[in-house]
Each structure stands twice: as structure tokens, then as C-alpha cells.
Structure 1
Amino acid sequence: MNPAATELSLQTHINQLKKSSESLQPARYASLLQKCTEQKSAAAGKLVHQHILSSGCGVNRYIQNHLIFMYAKCGCLEDALEVFELLPNPNVFSWTALITAYAKEGHLREVLGLFRKMQLDGTKPDAFVFSTVLTACSSAGALNEGKAIHDCAVLAGMETQVVGNAIVNLYGKCGRVHEAKAVFERLPERNLVSWNALIAANAQNGHCKDAMQVFHLMDLDGSVRPNDATFVSVVDACSNLLDLPRGKSTHERIIRTGFDSYLFVGNSLVNMYGKCGSVDRARLVFEKMRLRDVLSWTSLIAAYALNGHRSAALEWNQRMDLEGIPPNDITFVSILFACGHSGLVYQGRDFFVSMVEDHSILPTMEHYGCMIDLLARAGWLEEATQLINLSPFGHKSFEWLTLLGACKMHGNQGLASQVAKQVFVKDPKSASPYMLLLRTKTCRME
């Protein structure tokens, strides 16, 4: 049944409920709540809930679990918790539904609190609960909490494939690649998720050659075939290694296996070709993509900007604007970089202001760095100094070093001496300010 028909069917049943106060069988209520869950219709779910209460059905764990699950899937955490707290004896399904709901919304503290209460209640967590809690720890980068859950899983004899995969993912997300590899090697069985987790752990933490080696071992193992997630990690590894030949061969394999139509795969390919200096290939991949998002456009703009095609980068940014795709913070980094290396001071300043006023994007250290570099390159040294003083990242020595380098470029010895003092304070052990200051004086003498 298509979604529109399902929605109509649900509305028909809700209208029937409104006309009758007669209690339904638990299985009938469960079926209705499942339809509400599928449609993510909290409003319809609440009407079913009201009918359950008004018909005097009472507290029924089977129905209550479906209510918790429905509210959880609809993002109504307070309602889910309220129903849960009415249960005299929640079972593992009840706990799982509630923990999953809080995990999905990124509420790690509540997830951990519920997990502890579940244990104190005497309900033994199953593999899915352990996996959910570990994934929540991964998303929050909570290594210590995740390790504690890992210990609980080991004590409970729950180091299953599902839990093991979540642990590999946790250690990978938290930068502990060796621990991720150790858990992976202990897994009694490995599926595609296991291999993907280890490949991603290596690729995301700069161990790109190891990521490629794990990918090769997965091929040799022969028990699984790569999917879109695998190829995204492998292409990202090629990007960071600047390995264009391997990136091209991976792209050919992606085409053969039919994963070139996937959005994230396409984005990673555009990014890879851009980083490896093959802008034309990046554009070809972009133009063949059936679906594009802000990351697709940003990757292409960055490809042009990083490879010296600054005018093209600005043109593609204009096309992106005409397509109605709102830029993100990374887009503005590429645009400001392009303006800085093209001497477009006024245009760069307008982009910087627009980022804040029109798109409500707070400037990061990278944005300030690009803008300071733009002003300094153009010889607007006083303005660059003012921006550093206004920047919340002005305590970073690299911003002052950028300005000091510009003082050398423009032969401004007086300002160079003042700026060098700031760098000495920020980073007294660095030799860079001494060398730049000496070169500035040398340029002045010449």
C-alpha cells in the first residue's frame, strides 16, 4: 500500500474511533498504533491513546509498549516516558523503546541513566540495547562512558557480533584505532558492518594506508561485498593520501557495482578528485549526479578554489545560489579562500557579513583565518589587526603569524614589530616570528 493510501486508511480508522467509545481488542489497538508509528503521526497516536484510556482498557503492558514505541518514533519523549512510568513491570522491549528514543535525539545522559535503571530494575539488557547505548556514546564522543558499557557487555557475555561492531565503531569514532582493531580481531564472526567499521576507523583517523589494507583484506576474505558506506570510506582514504590512480580505479569499481548513483558516494568522489587536483573529473562526477545536496556543491566549489580556479569557484557558488541551495559553513570557507587568493576584498567582506546576517552561521576559526588572510594579502593590515582583536580566536598564534607574514610582504616594519610581540606572547617557543621579523627588516633595508 502506498503512503497516501496508508494515511487515508489511518484517518478512516481514527474517525471510526471518534464515533465509538467501545473498547477494542489489544491486538486492534496495537495495529492502529503501528500505523501511527509508520506515519509518524503523533496526533493520531494521541487520539488512539485517549480512546484506550476512556474505554477503560486499563494498564496493559502489550498496549503500553506499543504506545511507548509510537511516541518514541514520533519524537515525543515526554509522552513516551510518562507511559513508561505507568508500567508496573516494564520488560526489555519497554526499556529498549525508551532508550532508543533518547539515543536518537542525542540525549546521552538520559540514555546512560535509563541503562543503569534498567540494570537496577533487574531487566537484563540484550545485544540490541548494548549496541544502542554504545552507538549513543560514539555519537557523543564519550569514550570513558563507552568503555564502561563495553565492560558491562563483556561481563554479561554479550560480546556478540552486533555489540562488537558497535564497540569497533565507538573506538574508531573516539580515535582509538588500535583498540578498534583488537575488538575486530576478537569477533567470532564478521559481517559487512564489522569491516566497514574498521575501514572507517582507520580512514577517519588518518590511518589511510591501513584503511586501504583492511579493504584489501575484506576482498581477500570474500565473505562480504562492499556497499556505499565502504566506498565512501575508501574514497576518503584515497583523498587524504592524494592517491589519484587508486581513486580512479576505485571509481571504476564503484561504477561497475552500481553505487555511483548514491549521493554520499558521489560527494566523496567529487571531494577526492578535487583534492587530487583533477577538477575536470570532479565536475563530471558532479554533473552526472542525479541528486545533489549542499555538500555536493560545496565539494565542487572547494575543488575549484583549492586548485587555483578562483573565478570558477565564485561562479559555481552563484549557480548554487540560483538553484536555491543554502550554503553551509564549509561553503563559506571555500568562498572566502577563493576571494582571498583573488584579491576580492570587498566581495569577501560581503560574503563574511552575509554568512552571519543572511544565513545565521557563526564564524569559526577557519572563517576568521580566511578573512584575516584576505585582508592581510590585500595590504589592509590595520583592518586585519582589528579583526584579530575582535575574533574570539585571537589568542591563537597562527592569526598573528598570518599578519606578520603580510607585514613582510608589504614591508611594514613598524606594525611587524608590534605583531611579533603578540606572537612571542602566544607562542614563546616558536622560531617563526623571529625569522619573519628578520626578513621584514631585511626587505626594509633593501
Structure 2
Amino acid sequence: MQPNPELVRAIANSYAAHLRLCLPLRRTSLKLARAIHANIITFGFQPRAHILNRLIDVYCKSSELRYARQLFEETSEPDKIARTTMVSGYCASGDINLARRVFEETPVSTRDTIIYNAMITGFTHNHDGCSAINMFCTMKREGFKPDNFTFASVLAGLALVVEDERDCVQFHAAALKSGAGYITSVLNALVSAYSKCALSTSSSPLHSARKVFDEIPEKDERSWTTMITGYVKNGCFDSGKELLEGMDENMKLVAYNAMISGYVHRGMYQEALEMVRKMVSSGIELDEFTYPSVIRACATAGLLQLGKQVHGYALRRENFSFHLDNSLVSLYYKCGRFVEARAIFDKMAAKDLVSWNALLSGYVSSGHIGEAKLLFKEMKEKNILTWMIMISGLADNGFGEEGLRLFSCMRKEGFEPCDYAFSGAINDTVSELEPTFEESSQARRFLNQNFIWLT
């Protein structure tokens, strides 16, 4: 018996209406999506593409990629929306290799600017500026026109790797030619790229960054923060503070955070803490981004008691975030307080990969390899950094043979890193062993590639 078309349409509209509620609700979105998914399976309903795409979107944005992947793979002919959603989801979780696989399996004829933007953004967010630029070039070569979002993303990738100001000038010219060179987000990315270039050459690119900044017609919070960050990273703290003083009061919070983060990055912990005191005395409340910088300063400087005070300050103001919890885990393990570090980790309402990697790094750096192995096995999701931490930890603590086996497992899992230098750890590991293992030859071949450790 043929299903009633009106009934099918009504059911589809009902599912679509409920799924539209999912993302704004956030806390209950995953539960609602699972209920709808279960209902579809139970009643054997064959949903249309837009319903499947919405379900995949909810799963990806809820970090439930295993459900998104299952639904995607069960779809006989996923459309470009589903493919783009999966690419974005994998990139957001750090699974850039799986994102690339979905992208490469997408026929060129069905690709569009949006899926290229998703890949470029994914590479940038995963600190792979070279691949972001290569993807941009592929996009142009295959006849797709970059938009404002493309230029903002690829320039952010350029800022990760650029050393020659001429590269910035070329991208700047391309953005102007396309009409994107007058958009605030693109100009902000250019300021960042020119500022990064100044680190590798002279101060001239920093002047170029300031020139672009001054020409931004409508500066937003990111404009000011990017320029201040550029000054700070180049050690021009006085120029950064001068710019901060000229900002609107309602924008200063993020700028203060940039200054504090810059001081911490350069090991100027007292200056960072002094900036915090100035911030508080000005009536500006610390936020979820301030606390991690202050905690990192305390952790690196070994100021456990001050770190505890900041922790207590955050608790009293009920200011919680992933970033704060992850920084606290680092604070306590760097100060040798592993019980406290694990307690904070276990109490976290939700853990992302940064959380797991932070604790894993703490265990291996302190020689607690047994705990590290257990935690590694406990992790449901892993990214390339997870594997790097574990392999390096095994190598550094005398478990070279086991490290090589894990290296082989990593490659079998489909991880082919292009930005992280396993070379030091793998080289040490191979040197400790007779070159009779298959893993050893794999590792040697791996070393012949030019990997860069991006910090």
C-alpha cells in the first residue's frame, strides 16, 4: 500500500519544526534530536534530505560525531549540505583528516564556495596554514570564486605561516581586486598577517599592519584586539597600552585579555598580574578568557597559592568555562598536585579534547605513564595532538618499542599529520632500537618529510 502523500508531508513538516528548535535550546537539543532520530527508525519513515541534514547538523554541533557519521554513511546519496556539515563538524573536533576525506569524496561538480570555506577554516583552526593556502589555490584553480569569508579565513591561515611581507601584499591585492578588501573581518585578518610577518623580518610589516588598522572604516572589537595583539607579540607593549587607552570602555575587556595573554606568552608574569590588578581597579570584571591567562601565568611561574586564590575568585563569581577548567588542570599538575588535577577533570560537566589532552600531557610530562595509558584508552575521541602526546611520552620515558607500535596504530587509524613534528620523539625512539621493526622503517620514512611543530 502506497503511503498517503499528505500524511508523509505532515510527518516531515513536524520533524522539521521540532529540529528547528534543537540548536537554540542547546541543552536539550541533543536529547530532542535523538528522540526524533529514534522515532524515524521505529516507524520506518524515510525522511527527506533536509531532515537528515538537520539531524547531522545537530549531532555535529553537539560534538556527537559518531551519530552524525552513522547517519551520513547510511544516506545513499548525501547532498552538498550534508557533506559540508560533516566537513565542518570534523574540522571543529580536530579530525582534519576525516574532513579532508569527505571533501575529496565530494565530486567537483557538486562542490561550492561554502565547502571550500569549511575546509580552509578547518585547516586554519587546526593550525595548518600551509594547507589552508593550498586549498585556497585549489579553489581558484577549479574555478570557484572566493567570497569575503574565504579571504578572512585564508588570511588567518596565512598569519600562521607568513614570513615574507610580499606574501601579505599579494593576498591584500587579491582581496582588494575581489571587493573583499574593504570588509572589516578581512582587514582584521590582514592586520594579523602583517603583524605576524614582523616577527620574522623587521618592524616594517608592523607599520603596514598599523596602516591597515587605521584605514578600517568601522573598527570592531576584534580590530582593536588584533592590532594590540600584534604590538604585544612583537614586544611593543607601550604601543599596545597606548592603543588600549584610546579604546571605548565597553571594548577594553578583550584588549586587556590580549595584553595579559601577551605578557604571559613572553614570560612576563609580574607584568601580567599587574595588568590584572589595573583591570580590576578600573571596574572591569575578569571573564572566562581572563582567568585562563592568569592561571597559566601562575602555573608556569609555580605560583600555586596565587593560582588557588584566582580559582576561588572564579568560583565565588560562578565564572566557569572549558578554558578555565583546562587551565586549572594544567596549574595543579604542573605544581605536582595530581589528585587535585584529576578531581577537577572528573568534575567537569563536559570535557572536550583539550581537556583530555591537558590531563594526558600532565601525566606523561611527569612520568606517570601508567595513568597516561589508562587515560589514553579511556578517550573515545582522539586527534593528532593526542597521539603526539602519547607517543612522545612513551619515547621520553623509555618505552620506545611501545611508542613505535603506537605510531603504527596511529597511521592505521588514518592520522597522517602534516604540521606536528613527531620527528624528535620518533628519532629518539628509533635510535634506541635495532632497525628490524617494520615500524622503524615507517618512522624513518616519516622523518624524511619536513614536518613543522607549530606552537
**Fold agreement, TM-score > 0.5:** yes
Decide whether aligned partners of structure 1 residues 138 and 199 sit closer, same or farther in structure 2, where only a CA change above 3 A counts: same
What aligned pairs does 1:191-202 form with structure 2 within 5 A after superposition?
191-202=220-231
In the other structure, the counterpart of 1:154 is 176
Q: Tell me the equivalent position of 1:39.
A: 62
Match of 2:122 among 83, 92, 101: 101
Structure 1's 300 and 67: CA in aligned 2 closer, same or farther, altered over 3 A? closer
Q: Distance in 1 between matches of 2:85 and 2:272?
A: 52
- The offset of 1:184, in angstroms, is 0.7
How many angstroms apart in 2 are the aligned matches of 1:361 and 1:206?
36
One-letter amino acid of the structure 2 residue matched with residue 227 of structure 1: L
Give the letter for the 2:68 counterpart: G
Return the TM-score normalized by structure 2: 0.56
Within a 5 Å distance, the mapping from 1:172-191 to structure 2 comes to 172-174=195-197, 175=199, 176-191=205-220
Post-superposition shift, 1:328? 5.8
- What residue is the counterpart of 1:225 in the other structure? 251
In the alignment, is residue 125 of structure 1 matched against residue 153 of structure 2? no
Equivalent-residue separation in structure 2 for 1:32 and 1:89 (angstroms): 21
Conservation of the 8 A alpha-carbon contact between 1:91 and 1:123: yes
Q: Within 5 Å, which residues of 2 pair with 1:220-299?
A: 224-228=250-254, 230-234=256-260, 236=262, 240=268, 247=275, 250-253=278-281, 256-259=283-286, 262-267=290-295, 270=298, 284-285=309-310, 287-290=312-315
Task: Tell whether 2:137 aligns with 1:116.
Answer: yes
The secondary structure found in structure 2 opposite 1:27 is: helix
Amino acid at match of 1:250: K
Q: Look up the equivalent residue of 1:231 and give its one-letter code.
A: N
1:164 aligns with 2:187: yes
Please name the residue that 2:419 is paired with.
Answer: none
Change (3 A) 1:265 1:103: closer
Query: In 1, distance between residues paired with 2:212 and 2:66?
Result: 44
Alignment check: 8 A CA contact 2:225 2:254 kept: no
Q: Using the TM superposition, give the Cα deviation of residue 155 of structure 1 relative to its aligned residue in structure 2, in angstroms.
A: 2.5
Deviation at 1:115, TM superposition (A): 0.7
State the aligned residue count: 314
Given that residues 33 and 58 in structure 2 are in contact (C-alpha distance below 8 angstroms), is that contact kept between their aligned partners in structure 1? yes
Q: Cα gap change, 1:3/1:184 in structure 2, threshold over 3 Å: closer, same or farther?
A: closer
Q: Which entry has the higher C-alpha Rg, 1 or 2?
A: 1
- Contact conserved, 1:21 with 1:51, CA < 8 A, in 2? no
- The Cα RMSD (Å) is 4.3
Identity of paired residues, percent? 14
Question: Out of 324, 334, 338, which is 2:341 matched to?
Answer: 324
Deviation at 1:123, TM superposition (A): 2.1
- Aligned-partner SS, 1:200: helix
Residue deviations 1:276-328 (CA, integer Å, cap 9, x gap): xx998777446534366675688899xxxxxxxxxxxxxx934x234236676
The answer (yes or no) to whether the contact 2:280–2:286 under 8 Å persists in 1 is no
Query: What amino acid is the match of 2:65?
Result: A
Alignment TM-score, normalising by the size of structure 1: 0.57
AA of the residue aligned to 1:317? C
Give the corresponding residue for 1:80: 102
Distance in 2 (alpha carbons) for counterparts of 1:92 and 1:228: 32
Between 1 and 2, higher relative CO (CA 8 Å, sep ≥ 6) is seen in: 2
Query: Which of the residues 155, 162, 172 maps onto 1:134?
Result: 155
- Gap change, CA 1:66 and 1:280, over 3 Å in 2: closer
Deviation at 1:22, TM superposition (A): 5.7
Instruction: Evaluate the alpha carbon distance shift between residue 4 and residue 257 of structure 1 in structure 2; reply closer, same or farther with a 3 A threshold.
Output: closer
CA offsets 1:151-173 (integer angstroms, 9 cap, x no match): 32122231211011111112223
Deviations 1:363-386 (A, max 9, x none): 9xxxxxxxxxxxxxxxxxxxxxxx
Q: What are the residue-to-residue correspondences of 1:209-224 with 2, within 5 Å?
A: 209-219=238-248, 224=250
Uncovered stretches (5+) of structure 1, i.e. residues with no partner: 302-315, 333-354, 364-391, 393-446
Deviations, residues 64-112 of structure 1 (Å, cap 9, x unaligned): 44444445445331442144x3251422212212222233333333322
Cα gap change, 1:92/1:208 in structure 2, threshold over 3 Å: closer, same or farther?
Answer: same
Q: CA deviation at 1:225?
A: 1.8
Question: What SS is found at the alignment partner of 2:341?
Answer: coil
Aligned counterparts of 1:209 and 1:14: Cα–Cα separation in 2: 56
Deviation at 1:3, TM superposition (A): 5.7
